[in-house]
Structure 1
Amino acid sequence: MKAIQLTNGFGLNNLALTELEIPTPGPQEVLIRMRAASLNYRDLVILNGFMPVEIKFPFIPLSDGAGEIVAVGQGVTRFQVGDRVAGNLQQRFIAGNPRPDVLGESLGGPLNGVATEYVVLSENGVVPIPDYLSWEEASTLPIAALTAWSMLIEYGGLQAGDTVLLQGTGGVSIFGLQFSVMAGARVIITSSSNAKLERAKALGAWQTINYSEVPDWDKAALELTGCGVDHVLDVGGAETMEKSINALRIGGTLSLVGFLSGLTIPEYDVTSILQKAATIRGSQVGNRDHFERMNRAIAHQSLHPVIDRVFPLDRIGEAFTLLAEGKQYFGKIVVQI
């Protein structure tokens, strides 16, 4: 089988298309013929060796993918051959809140990922995908979609009439837009591109802010709402968190889901958190129960994920380069397998 591997070190130059033996599923395991995989910023950070996870070379990257089950091991009861599925990022995170014993087995680091024609996963770490979605669309669900769903719906308690502030037009933010509109919430979305903001409006955004033209986007959000927003999905991290808190209403919720601008805040006055009575929650994506509920909601609404570009597997380097450029895409980047 064909697989992409980091052969003997980190970095884009160490990615290689290799030939491996097709694995055999053991008890309670399924063999999946992967059809598509999508890229996340997490994959780029792991590729470059910047995330503190233990990687053993050679290593297969990417955490998000979709395919069909072609063989099952002894004792499998949840699935059968022919089922269309995706793997959950945290393979043992079935239900409840994050726990140390379930967060160490993540696809695409430290576990091998899904940039391969065949992969064996535990039946407990796999979920069925909506039948109407293409392989490419379904491959975008495990991190970007589930992060937005879990933080807004499962943990955030998003309700009709709430206002949500989203940063940029990457995968998590666009799913956040789609789920918020689906729930009857109002969305304010930021971008440095007016063309992308127009596309966001077409997806249902209530208001848009070009942060290149309006650097104080937090103050703009306060002016638009009069009292602040109910929810912020913060994908920036260190350089955006202060403004995200400022944009909240009293009692609002900030969900920290990314670190595009960095991980470390040198100095920070916590007074604003106290004054806002803000809830700040970090993301560990979501559990399998969340994933299954999200897929049912997606199917009920016939929602289609937004895909910017699709690459063949042997051009995965180009896909990573596009991801690294940051501002050059809208929605998700996908590779076909």
Structure 2
Amino acid sequence: MRPSCRSGSSPQRSNAVSLRDLLVLAGDYPLPITPGIVAGCEGAGEVVATGPGAVRVRVGDRVMPTVFPDWIDGPFGLERAAQLGGTRNGTLAEYAVVPEEALVPIPEHLSYEEAAALPLTAVTAWHALTGSRPPLPGQTVVALGSGGVSLAVIQLAALAGARVIVTTSDVAKAERLRALGAHEVIDRRARPRWHEAVRELTDGRGADLVVDVAGTLEESLRSVAIGGDVAFVGYRTSATAAPRTALDARVLFASGARVRGIAVGSRAQFTALTQALATGRTQPVLGRVFPFTEAVAALRHQERGDGFGKVILTHA
């Protein structure tokens, strides 16, 4: 048996909820879900006990679990697809038992609430940005909307010195997006063919990387530079939105782009993310904070989709 540790706040300190949780509840999640499993895959807490032979963590350590406990490094595969809140008990509990290999230290500058915002959306954003060719200073990255992944993409791409273009259908959020690091914000309502605006802003060249969280793959391919990358993160923006229509294969061929499906990330990628955040003293964007006893209200708030920043549960 692998060494394991129990982490929490009283002893689990904080959790986060996301679109992923809504898709699981709606029975529309692409990976297997075991009935009756403890929900949730995002959390942060402190180690209160360790199993025999544990060497990576000690009692008192502040830690976060990886979403895929068996995915330590390397490419994703079915042999690494076991996930918290899916096929293994998740984090929406006062205590969680997690293999020590699946734990990542919390950066010193982050609170437990901020740390709980990292395991799913922030790691996904890091994987999207760095899993192929990390953006170089001056290159262009496009993020879609103001969901958790996109907000993290903006912060991390700006931290790398990239030029960040963001699309939004809520112009009231434009200044907040710029404050996070976006250089240009495209109003999707005024410019529904937003890929044309990306082309204009890049003098016809297109973006080096588009992080597609909404399933608008055809528009993403029309906005990316020849030989660029599209990180395909999600196929819908809410649990009730209909999936996008089929892609015209001619658009894919003509783009000359590489399309990568993104499945959160490994422990190694999570660790690299925390190092980048610590270096830049960067904090994730938090939205509403609910008591742990109001988890249902937090999920309903997430379902409305009108917030800005991660929805957090605190055990304080």
TM score, norm. by length of structure 1: 0.88
Question: How far apart are the structure 1 equivalents of 2:257 and 2:196?
Answer: 17
Question: How far apart are the structure 1 equivalents of 2:153 and 2:173?
Answer: 15
| Structure 2: gaps (5+ residues) | none
Question: How far apart are the structure 2 equivalents of 1:245 and 1:66?
Answer: 37
Amino acid at match of 2:143: L
Q: Is residue 224 of structure 2 the alignment partner of residue 248 of structure 1? A: yes
1:62–1:201 Cα change, 3 Å: same
Question: How far apart are the structure 2 equivalents of 1:114 and 1:267?
Answer: 35
Deviation at 1:256, TM superposition (A): 0.6
Amino acid at match of 1:220: A
Q: Which position in structure 2 is the counterpart of 1:296?
A: 275
Q: Which position in structure 1 is the counterpart of 2:45?
A: 67
Deviation at 1:264, TM superposition (A): 5.1
Question: How far apart are the structure 2 equivalents of 1:318 and 1:297?
Answer: 33
Q: CA RMSD in A?
A: 1.5
1:281–1:263 Cα change, 3 Å: farther
Kept in 2: contact 1:190–1:197 (CA 8 A):
no
Kept in 1: contact 2:142–2:209 (CA 8 A):
yes
Q: Which position in structure 2 is the counterpart of 1:125?
A: 102
Q: Which position in structure 2 is the counterpart of 1:207?
A: 184
Question: How far apart are the structure 2 equivalents of 1:157 and 1:55?
Answer: 32
Kept in 2: contact 1:47–1:61 (CA 8 A):
no
Question: How far apart are the structure 1 equivalents of 2:276 and 2:32?
Answer: 35
Q: Is residue 255 of structure 2 the alignment partner of residue 276 of structure 1? A: yes
Q: Is residue 55 of structure 2 the alignment partner of residue 77 of structure 1? A: yes
| Structure 1: gaps (5+ residues) | 1-25
Q: Which position in structure 1 is the counterpart of 2:172?
A: 195
Kept in 2: contact 1:53–1:110 (CA 8 A):
no
SS at match of 2:80: coil
Question: How far apart are the structure 1 equivalents of 2:246 and 2:279?
Answer: 45
| CA deviation profile, 1:149-181 (whole Å, cap 9, x unmatched) | 111023232111110111111110000000000
Q: Which position in structure 2 is the counterpart of 1:217?
A: 194
Count of aligned pairs between the two proteins? 308
Q: Which position in structure 1 is the counterpart of 2:79?
A: 101
Deviation at 1:56, TM superposition (A): 4.0
Matches within 5 A, 1:147-186: 147-186=124-163
Question: How far apart are the structure 2 equivalents of 1:273 and 1:56?
Answer: 36
| CA deviation profile, 1:174-221 (whole Å, cap 9, x unmatched) | 000000000000111111111211101111211001111211111111
Q: Which position in structure 1 is the counterpart of 2:312?
A: 334
Deviation at 1:230, TM superposition (A): 0.7
Amino acid at match of 2:176: R
Amino acid at match of 1:95: D
Kept in 1: contact 2:286–2:312 (CA 8 A):
yes
Q: Is residue 264 of structure 2 the alignment partner of residue 285 of structure 1? A: yes
Q: Is residue 206 of structure 2 the alignment partner of residue 228 of structure 1? A: yes
Q: Which segment is superposed worse, 162-171 or 149-158? A: 149-158
Q: Which position in structure 2 is the counterpart of 1:258?
A: 234
Q: Is residue 123 of structure 2 the alignment partner of residue 143 of structure 1? A: no
1:264–1:203 Cα change, 3 Å: closer
Amino acid at match of 1:119: A
Deviation at 1:27, TM superposition (A): 5.2
Deviation at 1:53, TM superposition (A): 4.3
Amino acid at match of 2:264: V
1:86–1:188 Cα change, 3 Å: same
SS at match of 1:147: helix
Kept in 2: contact 1:187–1:206 (CA 8 A):
yes
Deviation at 1:319, TM superposition (A): 1.1
For 2:4, which of 16, 24, 29 is the aligned residue? 29
Deviation at 1:101, TM superposition (A): 0.7
Amino acid at match of 2:144: Q
Kept in 1: contact 2:113–2:312 (CA 8 A):
yes
SS at match of 1:66: strand
Question: How far apart are the structure 2 equivalents of 1:231 and 1:95?
Answer: 23
Q: Is residue 45 of structure 2 the alignment partner of residue 45 of structure 1? A: no
Q: Which position in structure 2 is the counterpart of 1:318?
A: 297
Question: How far apart are the structure 2 equivalents of 1:148 and 1:267?
Answer: 25
For 1:88, which of 66, 76, 80 is the aligned residue? 66
Q: Which position in structure 2 is the counterpart of 1:7?
A: none
Q: Which segment is superposed worse, 282-291 or 153-162? A: 153-162
TM score, norm. by length of structure 2: 0.94
Deviation at 1:304, TM superposition (A): 0.6
Question: How far apart are the structure 1 equivalents of 2:31 and 2:247?
Answer: 27
SS at match of 1:32: strand
Q: Which segment is superposed worse, 278-287 or 266-275? A: 266-275
